[in-house]
Each structure stands twice: as structure tokens, then as C-alpha cells.
A and B are shown apart, each in its own frame.
Chain A
């Protein structure tokens, strides 16, 4: 053809064809090696694009997608909401999704979850794992905003993995069996029609509109335990990128006349108490939004009689279980609709809450030492009392190996380590620690030493 005789056109065409082929192979290899069959965000973000009437969105991490069921909330509040929370969503991710949702929806309200772990994470440029970013960016429509989000989310080292889908799990190509297995999963009707491929056990399940059922729940026997303390929230060292994105969200909502409501889903008392300075975080947020038309409800301030911290309300120390979500949503919608006031259901500070709560031991912080030893300390709002422990050490088959009862000893509560035991030094070992305070059983904690 005549136009192809032009050398310039041939060169341009050659380069364009190469680029197209390169991009196609990138997508193809990425399809073969990236297992997103169980990524909720693949479904939820696509659903968001398809749902044209959304006026309310929820943004945040997994605590948020377990906690807010749009179907329930819409029924109670008369909204058309969508839960855009994703796993480990950073504030930059929240901001990106807000802008994305704002492009095709007339948003009236944004609920932004402020789970306290997120702002204490690394600055964007120091991020090591970008899965939380890819959970969002991979499913955003192509746009400059998407590129900008990806670029700002990390340092340059990550750009190759970010923009070359084929590179992320390239080593999988060296395992043909794994590629075949993944291809089998992806070439199912379910996946191809945008559904999720669950494993045999289903600890959670995507419901709709971004909400996820959390089927896991803590057992009724056994208070929370954790290896190692939670860190106090250092408000002077919060991630600058988090703060910048937060301010961006506040400004965006202001400019677009969107009501911004900051929320924090209730974490377990074990978590809040162990962090120790949660009130400083609340004060920081309040200071940040001073003078702005932004509401802030930290549901960690909920009163005991309104939202009891029973272990079954949680699946771990910060995620609500299905049961917990049902209880929480009822309070949430009552508060948002004005049925109840803040002072009806919330304390003013965590300090007040812990003081007014029934004295309790919420769980134990455990640490492993050398020579098969555990040390532990109680997480408690009890400020004085005599603590003692009954310890039962069992093997993996629940056979008792030995027991120890310190009720003859008076251990006065003090800082740091308050207990020390030697467990079996080989094989699986389960340690049951029953905490008594002034003669009253306060907590039963089960430590599976294998699961460090």
C-alpha cells in the first residue's frame, strides 16, 4: 500500500506494534502468574463502576469491609452506599478510591475509617510490600490518576513490578504445575464472570457492595493473647504520606460538598488497652480537623453496656466477626440517624472508658525466651490487685504435661513481666494460663506455642 512506503510510517508502525505486543504479553503472562482469584477488590471495584447510583462510600482497610454492610445501612439510613474498603488500604489508597468514585458518582457522604495501625506504617517510599496498592490499582480504570497513585505509592524500585504485571510473580513460570492450577481456576465461568474462587475452607465471603462476611470468631473459651506488645501510637511520627493523603481527602470533600465522617471501628479492649495511649491518637485527629466541617466518631469509645467486648464479637484483636458486625451496625446506624446521641453510647476518652468499665483482664501479652520459656503479662484495666496464675501445659493432643498454681504466692501487679513458665521444649505445646485477681477468675488464655 502506498502509505506504507513512507519510511517514517514504517518505523512508527514497527514501534507501535512492538509496544502493543509487549503490553499484550505483559497482560497475558500476568494473567498466568498473578493469583487474584480471591481478591475481593477485583469484584468490589468493578461493582462500584457498574453501580451508577452510589451516594455514600466507606473507605478503609479490612476492619472496615467487615464492619459496614451497605445493604443493612441503606435500609436504615435511606442511602445508596458502597463499601470501598480493601485489605490494608493506606490513606493514599483511600484518597485514590475517593477520587475514582467521585468521577462517576455524585457522592454525598464519605465514611473514612481510621484504623490506628495504618498511619504508623512506613512512608510510601519505604514500603516493602505493595500488595495493598495493587489491590486497588490493578482494578482502577486506566487513567492519569491511576498512574499517579502507583508512582506515589512507593519508591522507584517497585515501579517495574507495579507497571509490569508479568514481573510480579515471574518465578511462577518456572513451576508449570502452579501455572496450570491457576489457569484452571481462572478459566472457570465464575472467575471469568467476575466472581471469586474460594478455597475449601471459607473464613470469609464476599457479600455485595464491598461488604465481606467474617465467619471467623474467637472461641468463647480463651481470652486474647499476643506474642509481643502492640506499640503505642507515636503521633509525632505518624507517616507524613498518611497525613498528606488525609488532608487531601478532607480538602476534596470540602471542595465537592461531600459530608466527611471519620470513623474508627471498635477494636478489642485488649488492643486498645495494650496500645496504651489511644487517647493521644483521638486528640491528634480532633486537632487535625479543627475548624473543619468534619465529624469524627471513634467507636472504641463505646460504652460497655452498649457494645460488650465479648470475644465472639471479634475474630482477632481488631476485626469484628459477623456477630460483632451485626451488633456494631445497629449502634452505628442509630447514631448516624440521630436515634441516639454520642453521649448516650460513647465515653469521651479511652481513659474514662477503662476506668468506668468492669475491672477485667482482657488477655495476656506473651513473649518467648530461650530454653523453652514463656513470659507473660496481663492486659488489664485493673490498677491494683493480687494477681496469680494457674498454668496448665499440654501437648498437641491436649494431654496434660504438668500444672502450676501460684495461688500460694502473692504477685502484686507491676509493670513488665509478671509470669514466667517453662514449656515443653520439643514438639507442639499448648499452655493454658488462667488469671485470677483477688481470688476471682478473670481470664483464660490459651497459648499455642507453635503459632508464634
Chain B
């Protein structure tokens, strides 16, 4: 079940309706049932995997606390990681590994039968695995006491708004709220209204911008030999907004849905394309994943505490792994490593050449544009099917400047108009947010008539101009594949 589906439009109100009327004590049980139902709507067998991950990490927390020696604690953590990462590795990277072994043996002249695992990649496995593992680490580091109620813990792992595409929540935030769900004041009109507004904006991002941009991106990237530099650059720029609005839109729908039910999920995006450096970009983009890797990989590797060279190696490792986390394919690894290289180059530039000035608005805007260009170049690898596909797309830019009319890229004049206006709105919203102008605060200050009008307008922008239903193929969220 995806958010942009009739199923979810029926599911969510029913879940809320029951949630709002049932006794407080069983609220978390109802949410757990709903979350598992949500997840099993993809494939019922997925429930087994998330249940295994839940049980393993739940038990790890208890055993870590009960263990009296550091060795035993470490063993619990190691076991939790091995099992969870093992499951992730088999389902997500098993075939990638086998393909590479086959290629290597073939290159070495060794005859080996090509093997393939017939496994479906469970939706969201990367997200909930990391979320569950963060709990293990948080208990180990005594940031949180282990949860004794397995059902509450299971809800923390499987909470449906953020289950399949994040944000990757920390136990200090989400688990704490799950533990206090009975105390949530459900009938808070302002919170519910805000939650719905965030959801509406998320749907706008996803259905009006992301899915419309994807039409052009798909057309150009799948038929890149027909296009020149202008079309490819245009498609790549649109991809930057497609993935931002797809993923950011999902996160907003998740945050909004959770808010309606009384939960506060973390912000996963903070106007990422307003970043003035790659380093800053990663403080604004997929924040939950960045902080996860920082806390559980970069810092344990030594972070920046072991000298510059080691720091750069750690950055390469973290971003390489991050790329791999996104997909079992070399183009994703390349994407990650490109970011690492950019970040290292930026660090070297600041350290040894010239530091960024923060007092000049023109320079700041130029840095924003420059950062966008760098991230967009990296996105080419993300948008491509394979590493060589990305190379060919880049190469195609040098075969000609412009080879086709904009109207041959999948959108007619009116649809281009809608996309451009929607992008302008998005950029305005992001600029305002970046300058700490809170649109939610502005919204709350208006009188009731204006608030209803704003809600209806935002809703109808999506209803009328969203890419869904007849004439469009259902577009799943990009990050579901991770």
C-alpha cells in the first residue's frame, strides 16, 4: 500500500477513527495491528522478516542490560548486527554478490554456474533494519533503557507512517513516544490540522512535482541517445527535484500522518538545495540516515579524531556504504563515492586554499548554485540504471547541444506550465524556510476562514494537477526500493 493510493485513503481514516475512539490502553496495540496490516499489504510474508528483526533486537536490548560484562554486551550487539545485517545482506545484496563472483570467476577463466537467489526485496528493509539496530546501540550506550513490552517495541520498529521509507527514527524520540502513547492528548485540533497540512504538502510534492518530473526524466534517461546536452541537463535537474519531492514528500506525508495521531517524527529534509557545500548538503538531506551513519559508523571508525588521512578514508567508507545502502549496484556506490570525493575536496579547499565566507550574500548564492551543480552531477549516477548507463548519459551530453523539442519529452505545454509553477512554489517555500520563516506559523496566525481556504487550495492543487489515476502509471516512491 503506497500513500498515493485509494487503499491508503481508506486505510488511514479507518485507522485514525478507531485509534481516536478505543481505550487509551490498547492504542499501541491497534497501531501495531494497523502497521503490520500496512506492511503485509505489500506481501504477507514480509511480516516474518520484520518480526525476526524485531524479536532479535528486542532480545538484544534485554540481554545487553542483563549482561554483567562488556564482553557479553559486545557479543549481544555483535549478534544483533550479524543477524540483521545478514538478513539485509542476503535479501538486498545476495544477487549483487553472486553476480560479481560470477563476473570475477569468468574474468579469471574459471567456469562457474551462474547462480541467482529467487528472493523478493522486502520493501523498507533497509529502513527498519537500521532503525532496529540503532535501538540495540542506544541500549548498549545506555541512552535508553530496554523496552520490556515486546508489542510496544514492535510498534517502534514497524510504525506504519515511517516504516517503508523513513525517517529512520531513534528510540529516544519515537520509542519514548510509543511508551507514552496513552498520554497523548488526541483531540488537539491544532495538531491534527497541522498534521493534515503537512500531509497535503507532502502529496503536493509527490504527485504534482515528483511524478510529473519523472515523466521527463524517464523519457530522457531511457532514450538518452536521442537527446543532447540541453535535454540531459534538464532531465538531470528535474531528477534532483523529483527525488527531493518524492522522498521529501513521502517524509512529509509520514510526518503529517504521525502528527495527526499525536506522534512527532524527525525532520528528514531541511531545504537541502539551499546548502552552500556538500558537507552542509548532508546535514540537510536524508538527515536520519546521515546521522545514523555518523553515530554508528563514522564515529566508531574514528571520525575525524585520528588525523586528516584517516578522516578522509572514513568519509570514503561511510559514503561508499551509504551508496551501497541505497542500492546493490555500482552506480549507487559511485554516487556515494562521488559525494565523498566532493566532501574531501571541499574540506581540502577550506583547510588549505580558501575558507568559505559567510558574510557575502552573492557568494552565498553562488555557493548554493555550485553545490546544486555538484549534487546534480552525482544524481546522474543515482538516476541511471547502471554505472555504465550513467557514463553513457554523461557522454551523450558531448554529442550535441540540443536535439529535440521540449514538447517531445513527455509533457505538453500546459503540463510544463504546471511543473514550472509548482517548482517555483517549492523553491519559494524552501527559501522562506531557509530564512527561518515558518509557513506553519504564518498559517496558524490566520483567521479560520483563511486557514480553511489555504487548506482547500493546497489540497486541490494536488487533486487537480497530481499525476495519478487515469492516464498515468502508478509511480511508487523512489526510496521504497531501498
Contacts and interface: CB of A to CB of B under 8 A. Distances in A.
Nearest to A168: B470
B188 interface: yes
Contacts of A167: 463-464, 469
A207 B463 CA distance: 38
Given A7-B187, A8-B187, A14-B189, A170 B469 contact: no
Interface stretch (B332-340, B389-397, B429-437, B453-461): B453-461
Interface string A8-20: 1011001001100
B194 to A, nearest CB: 12
A173 interface: yes
Interface in A1-33: 7-8, 10-11, 14, 17-18, 21-22, 25-26, 29
Given A11-B187, A166-B464, A158 B452 contact: no
Max count, chain A CB within 10 A of own CB: residue among B6, B456, B464:
B464
B465 A170 contact: yes
B460 A29 contact: yes
Interface in A146-161: 156-161
Interface in A129-164: 156-161, 164
A164 B418 CA distance: 20
Contacts of B187: 7-8, 10-11
A177 interface: no
A173 B470 contact: no
A171 interface: yes
A21 B456 contact: yes
Given A7-B189, A21-B452, A161 B469 contact: yes
Given A22-B456, A22-B459, A173 B464 contact: yes
Interface in A60-92: none
A29 B465 CA distance: 13
A7 B188 contact: yes
B417 interface: yes
A171 B465 CA distance: 8
A448 B197 CA distance: 57
B192 A11 contact: yes
A14 B464 contact: no
Contact of A11 (B189, B417, B452): B189
Contacts of B196: 18
A25 B460 CA distance: 9
Most buried by B among A17, A26, A164, A174: A174
Given A160-B469, A161-B470, A164-B463, A18 B189 contact: no
B414 interface: yes
Contact of B470 (A11, A158, A175): A158
Contacts of A17: 452
Interface string B290-304: 000000000000000
B206 to A, nearest CB: 15
Nearest to A14: B189
B311 interface: no
Interface in B423-456: 452, 455-456
Contacts of B185: 7
Contact of A29 (B414, B455, B464, B469): B464
B96 interface: no
Contacts of B464: 29, 166-167, 170, 173
A157 B469 contact: yes
Interface residues of A, number: 26
A261 B101 CA distance: 72
Contact of B6 (A18, A25, A156, A174): A156
A156 B9 CA distance: 12
A289 to B, nearest CB: 36
Nearest to B457: A25
B417 A174 contact: yes
A174 B456 CA distance: 18
B468 interface: yes
Contacts of B469: 157-161, 167
Contacts of B193: 14
Contact of A174 (B192, B414, B452): B414
Interface string A27-52: 00100000000000000000000000
A10 B193 CA distance: 11
Interface string B44-55: 000000000000
Contacts of A161: 469-470
A27 to B, nearest CB: 12
A442 B344 CA distance: 88
Contacts of B474: 157
Nearest to B412: A171
Contacts of B418: 174
B463 A171 contact: no
Contacts of B417: 174
A157 B459 contact: no
Interface string A368-406: 000000000000000000000000000000000000000
Nearest to B418: A174
A170 B463 CA distance: 9
A309 B6 CA distance: 51
A157 B460 contact: no
B390 to A, nearest CB: 33
Nearest to B464: A170
A29 B469 CA distance: 18
A21 B464 CA distance: 15
A226 B185 CA distance: 70
A285 to B, nearest CB: 33
Contacts of B455: 18
A326 B449 CA distance: 59
Contacts of A164: 463
A166 B463 contact: yes
Contacts of B189: 7, 10-11, 14
B80 to A, nearest CB: 41
Contact of A157 (B188, B414, B470): B470
Contacts of B414: 171, 174-175
A164 B6 CA distance: 13
Contacts of B6: 156, 159-160
B94 to A, nearest CB: 34
A440 to B, nearest CB: 52
A26 B470 CA distance: 18
A14 B187 CA distance: 11
A166 B456 CA distance: 13
A8 B468 CA distance: 34
A221 to B, nearest CB: 43
Contacts of B452: 17-18, 21
Contacts of A26: 463
Nearest to A128: B470
Tell which of B187, B417, B455, B469 has the most Cβ of chain A within 10 Å.
B469
A171 B459 CA distance: 16
Nearest to B7: A156
Interface in B404-432: 414, 417-418
B155 to A, nearest CB: 23
A441 B439 CA distance: 81
Contacts of B192: 11, 14
A25 B470 contact: no
Contacts of A10: 187, 189
A159 B469 CA distance: 8
B164 to A, nearest CB: 20
A157 B468 CA distance: 8
A174 B420 CA distance: 13
6 nearest CB pairs, A to B:
A170-B464, A160-B469, A7-B187, A10-B189, A174-B414, A8-B187
16 contacts: A7-B189, A11-B187, A11-B192, A14-B193, A17-B452, A18-B196, A18-B452, A29-B460, A156-B6, A157-B474, A158-B469, A160-B469, A167-B463, A174-B414, A174-B417, A175-B414
Interface of B: 6, 185, 187-189, 192-193, 196, 414, 417-418, 452, 455-456, 459-460, 463-465, 468-470, 474
Given A18-B452, A161-B470, 9 more contacts: A7-B188, A14-B189, A14-B193, A29-B464, A157-B469, A159-B6, A160-B6, A167-B463, A174-B417
